[in-house]
A and B are shown apart, each in its own frame.
Chain A
Amino acid sequence: MNRTIFILLFPLLVNSLLAKEIVVCTTCEVTNIQEAINRANAHDAIIIKAGTYLENNITIDKPLVIKGEQGAIVDGQSKDGIFLVAADSVTISGLTINNVGRSHTKDNAGIKTLNVRHFLFENNTFNNPFFAFHIQKSKRGVIRDNIIHGNAIDEFDSGNGIHMWHCSNIEVLDNKVDHMRDGIYFEFVKHSKVEGNESRFNIRYGLHFMFSNNDEYTHNLFENNGAGVAVMFSKYIFMKNNTFRLNWGSASYGLLLKEIYDAEIKHNTFEKNTIGISADGSTRVNVEENDFINNGWAIKFLGACYSNKFLRNNFVSNSFGIAYKGTLNSNIFDKNFWSEYVGYDLNHDGTGDVPFRPVKLFSYVVNKTPETIVLLRSLFVDIINFSEKVSPIFTPDALKDEHPSMKRIAW
């Protein structure tokens, strides 16, 4: 049995043993990456030694492993794209890729793929890329441990850190992206995973989903972005254990849900965002066991939200709590912890005996007439909030948490 397996696998083994290594360095026989690729056979390895290589449009048209040693820098001199991957099973690792050319007509990228499978891009560093990764119509790839530093200033002439279009089964793991337009951008991407990334100081979104279904993103950090994460026109998205922090600006939010169906939002932390979650047309979204701490608004409903569930979340010191427009539409708030809750618990079962109404009157007023926000923290506002709490007239009567938790929920 063992022998047959060996015989069957032998050709493969030999093949891999036969793979040769081509070394590129400034004083070697091969001084140019493109030349090395042209010389290589499929499944060869190309080792790039320390040095700066001024190259553009390096086309990889066969399965290769391209490995940069410490100090290997490929510089595009802001002229054009750098790597174009046009073959399956390509690995690019350990390179520093600098200065991709900006363009208004072409999507120049540090590494661009078109129609390929089984790629692995890891441990690369990008400085000043227009796009760092531009992955088109590709499948089953891994993008891992890359560091991307952009210098985006305006939305219209900057690119995304990791940009994907029409892809499936891609894993984006442990990358660090800052100062790009969108940190990570998904458009028509299916069955993919975004995990352990840090997306900071991006001028638009930390992570941006468009028309992408069945994806999950977990354990990511989104900090100081124009807005944290936008999930638009997508179904079956799982969002777990992410941190949305300091997305704090005049029109900023931690998480934007727009036309979302059947999503799961669990164990996330929303801290110090102007709006924690801004929901516009979301249906059957389960928001469970999240922390909303020190946000302007914890959750803002803009309309057309149906059958969403908010269970066992912690709402702590948010200036406005929840903003709500229109009728209740079978959205449910239950068993959450509210730091403003002043009810009592006579039977000591951990659940407050009077329901909590999370929409304050002032929040309702501001929602209707935004300019009244100048009255924030005025004594009058405190008085009307109090009287509304005692006997609700304006705020939706049915919007309440019947079983508010007395203690902060541990998850």
Chain B
Amino acid sequence: MLKILKYSFFDLMRSRWSYIYFFFYLILGYVLFFLNNDVSKAVITLLNIIIVLTPLIGTIFGVMYYYSSREFTELLLSQPLKRSTIFIGQYLGVALSLSLSLVIGLGIPFVAYGVMRSGAIWDFTSLLVTGSFLTFIFVALAYNIALSFNDKIKGFGFAILMWLFMAVVYDGIIMLLMMKYQDYPLDKFALGAMMFNPIDLSRVLILLKLDISALLGYTGAVFQQFFGTSMGMVISMAVLSLWVLIPVWRIRRVAGKKDF
């Protein structure tokens, strides 16, 4: 598996798109600091970008890589290799290289501007951790979709739809539901709804770290408990891990049975 991981990883590392992705974050980080020298403010701006962009890039890269390396995958399948090894290896290769672009791309300007000395180091770390988590989740989801559709266009369309649903539509539905049933106690529902969407979950996770979380606690005791204590942190992290594990498990299952 390591060999396949290594191959996929270096294959992507050599590709133009990884560099573009890397330089995009690098420039973004520098520009943000150039515009305001305040590290904690830069973290908030980055939050907005990361929770939208990392899933999108993860989805597109995942689908693209699967379809473009399809012939090579078929070649590998003819070798005496376990199927799970091949697909998990490829998946990890894609996810790792994307996360690396993110972490290094943003890490360099932050280190250069002295995040180490400022109090924002933990905010920044959690930003990178959730960004990487999102990459792993959405590459896995994209792989799931690609495995399910042999037609490239269909797979691509579904992947983009999935991203659109998670990033925008889901929140809209939740908001409408909450407004429709506003006479009922909603705080547990609201928190539960966040758990079923990794983008919302990461947003909540980063908000927890910022002092803006006091605003969230405004609403009631359940929020107060969740956002005011470390409980929220632990639960969100655990659910994010589940969001990685379940799609990866499905990749193994589907790849194991699929007729190529």
Q: Which residues of A contact B (CB under 8 A)?
A: 248-252, 274, 296, 319, 365, 368-384
Contact = CB atoms under 8 A, between A and B. Distances in A.
B179 A374 contact: no
A248 B179 contact: no
Interface in B197-218: 199-200, 203-204, 207, 211-212, 214-218
Contacts of B194: 374
B190 interface: yes
Contact of B211 (A248, A368, A372): A248
Given A249-B214, A378-B203, A383-B168, A371 B186 contact: yes
Contacts of A365: 175, 179
A251 B224 CA distance: 10
Contacts, number: 93
B104 interface: no
B7 to A, nearest CB: 35
Contacts of A252: 214
A380 B168 contact: yes
B41 to A, nearest CB: 9
A248 B215 CA distance: 8
A376 B178 contact: no
A107 B178 CA distance: 48
Contact of B218 (A369, A370, A381): A370
11 contacts: A250-B214, A319-B212, A368-B182, A369-B179, A370-B220, A371-B178, A372-B178, A373-B218, A374-B216, A376-B215, A384-B172
B203 A377 contact: yes
A275 to B, nearest CB: 9
B229 to A, nearest CB: 12
Given A248-B211, A250-B224, A373 B48 contact: no
Contacts of B167: 379-380
B207 A373 contact: no
Contacts of B186: 369, 371
B189 A371 contact: yes
Given A369-B182, A376-B207, A377-B47, 12 more contacts: A250-B218, A251-B218, A274-B218, A369-B179, A371-B178, A371-B187, A374-B216, A375-B175, A377-B207, A378-B199, A380-B172, A382-B48
B199 to A, nearest CB: 8
A387 B170 CA distance: 18
B235 interface: no
Contact of B215 (A319, A375, A383): A319
Contacts of A380: 167-172, 175
B239 interface: no
A365 B179 CA distance: 8
A223 B52 CA distance: 36
Given A365-B179, A369-B182, A296 B218 contact: yes
A372 B212 CA distance: 15
B245 interface: no
B219 interface: yes
A363 B228 CA distance: 22
Grouping DSSP codes into helix (H, G, I), strand (E, B) and loop, the B interface class, with mixed when no group exceeds half, is helix
B174 interface: yes
B191 interface: yes
B91 to A, nearest CB: 26
B43 to A, nearest CB: 12
Interface string B65-108: 00000000000000000000000000000000000000000000
B217 A250 contact: yes
A274 B187 contact: no
A274 B216 CA distance: 10
- Among A319, A380, A384, the one with the most B-chain Cβ atoms within 10 Å of its Cβ is A380
B226 to A, nearest CB: 10
A370 to B, nearest CB: 4
A380 B176 CA distance: 12
A296 B207 CA distance: 13
B175 A368 contact: no
A376 B228 contact: no
Contacts of B203: 377-378
A374 B191 contact: yes
Contacts of B52: 379
B179 A373 contact: no
A371 B220 CA distance: 8
A250 B228 contact: yes
A296 B168 CA distance: 23
A249 B175 CA distance: 25
B21 to A, nearest CB: 20
A405 to B, nearest CB: 22
A191 to B, nearest CB: 37
A142 to B, nearest CB: 38
Contacts of B168: 379-380, 383
Contacts of A371: 178, 182, 186-187, 189-190, 219-220, 223
B259 to A, nearest CB: 38
- Among A250, A370, A376, the one with the most B-chain Cβ atoms within 10 Å of its Cβ is A250
Contact of A373 (B170, B171, B200, B215): B215
Interface in B143-195: 167-172, 174-175, 178-179, 182, 186-187, 189-191, 193-194
A370 B219 CA distance: 6
A368 B200 CA distance: 21
A376 B212 contact: yes
B56 to A, nearest CB: 11
A261 B109 CA distance: 53
A381 B170 CA distance: 11
Contacts of A250: 214, 217-218, 223-224, 228
B220 A274 contact: no
A372 B200 contact: no
A248 B191 CA distance: 22
